Structure 1
């Protein structure tokens, strides 16, 4: 298959306007397609993540200390990435790298999985500060950060992105930060703001951090492509060339 960004030997030494046009990569003249629906949905994900973070910060005495929590870090990065993705979809620019957007899925689902499946993990630095009797504000922030934002990111991936965009190298790149963060909680529990997890819980967190990227990459290889808007050489109804 030919590479559209490369020029042939016959056009490489051409001069004048014709030569300049021949040496122009196809990607440089491809029309920009705006995706307002995707942009709106990603802006709503950004708003949900930021709202959850603000509600969580309002319910603690030292909001800056939340920056050491894995849940807060994952949702803060998700808000930044989805804001950038929304801007690119609205202006028709090239989408962000799947290596970056795909990493958000295991990052968001790891604390959500621990929160709902392993209640003991709520006392670790992977979760928000644990409260025996959470207020309405704290309960709402939990729903936004542990449920709504991860599920919305999952829907964006399945419905608004093309499949088979992840590379096998992501299987070892994505778990790197969760494993480093887990080691950080063992080495500096006071800096993490929570006690270190027990051996069994730490093993569970490590396995979940390694398996979630593999699950995401495996699903990406077999899932069907969504009905995305595609480029057309000529508008519908103009001529036989489509």
Structure 2
């Protein structure tokens, strides 16, 4: 990989204004790659996750107990990472590491998959506790945490990030926490406030926790690059326009 702060051998001995321009690193003259639309979209993800968490707390008798649920932990992580990503997109700084930002997709997809596709596992600590008095707040929190936030994180990954940024090592790093959390719920179910998952549910959770990262990494390797617009009007090399 070339170093943008170094100049080529052909331009090192150039003199005059042209030589000074040639020896100037591209990073010093190029404007920062700000992406205000991406920043606004990621702020919406943060707002959706926080709104869902607040509504879930309002509809639960023990709001502090929500912190032990995997869905809540995943959405807290989504709110923090999306807010940081929004700030970096707005200021033109380097994006958040794909190791961290990419983990949101399988982390948010796992409880959503259990909620909609595996009803038998919907009473485990991976999902939200049932509301004491089901109402509008509980229904809205479920829609935000199980539907809107995961779909928004998926859209952010597919439409606003470059492909082939995930490494194969993430396939065993991302499932580490869901599997540890599953072991914790099996060993100490009273601390999570949810019944211990059955053998079938535990197997389903383990397989889903391992399969979702593999699917995410596989899609990332073959998906097309999004049409991201930047602020540059010419390539980073030396040209007559510079």
Same fold (TM over 0.5): yes
Match of 1:87 in 2: 87
CA 1:122–1:210 in 2, change beyond 3 Å: closer, same or farther? same
Q: Alpha carbons of 1:90 and 1:200: their partners in 2 closer, same or farther (altered >3 Å)?
A: same
Alpha-carbon displacement from aligned partner over 1:139-172 (angstroms, at most 9, x marks no partner): 1100000000000111111111110000000000
* Structure 2 unaligned blocks of 5 or more: 12-18
Root mean square deviation of aligned Cα: 2.8
1:34 Cα offset (Å): 1.3
Q: How is 1:213-232 mapped onto 2 (pairs within 5 angstroms)? A: 213-230=213-230, 232=232
- The CA distance in 2 between the partners of 1:206 and 1:54, in whole Å, is 29
How far did 1:10 drift?
A: 11
Q: CA deviation at 1:230?
A: 3.6
Does 2:60 match 1:64?
Answer: no
- Equivalent residue, structure 2, for 1:52: 52
2:107 equivalent in structure 1: 107
Q: Deviations over 1:15-46 (max 9, x none)?
A: xxx9xx96x87556653121111011110110
Q: How does 1:135-150 map to 2 (within 5 A)?
A: 135-150=135-150
Note if contact 2:171-2:217 (Cα within 8 Å) is conserved in structure 1. Answer: yes
Q: Does 1:190 align with 2:190?
A: yes
SS at match of 1:220: helix
**C-alpha distance in structure 2 between counterparts of 1:170 and 1:227, whole Å:** 25
TM-score by length of 2: 0.87
Q: Distance in 2 between matches of 1:159 and 1:94?
A: 18
Alpha-carbon distance, 1:61 to partner: 1.8
What is the TM-score when the length of structure 1 is the normalising length?
A: 0.87
**Cα contact 2:56–2:137 (8 A) shared by 1:** yes
Deviations for 1:82-115, whole angstroms, at most 9, x for unmatched residues?
Answer: 0111111111111111111100000000000000
Does the Cα contact within 8 Å between 2:59 and 2:134 map onto a contact in 1? no
Q: Give the CA deviation at 1:231.
A: 5.5
Verify the 8 A CA contact 1:46 1:83 in the aligned structure 2: yes
Taking the aligned partners of 1:199 and 1:29, their CA distance within structure 2 comes to: 60
Matches of 2:38 and 2:131 in 1, distance apart? 36
Conserved 8 A contact 2:189-2:196: yes
- Quick one: distance in 1 between partners of 2:146 and 2:27? 39
Structure-2 change in CA distance of 1:93 and 1:130 (3 Å): same
Unaligned segments of structure 1, at least 5 residues: 12-17
**Greater relative contact order (Cα < 8 A, sep 6+):** 2
Distance 1:224 1:61, change over 3 A: same
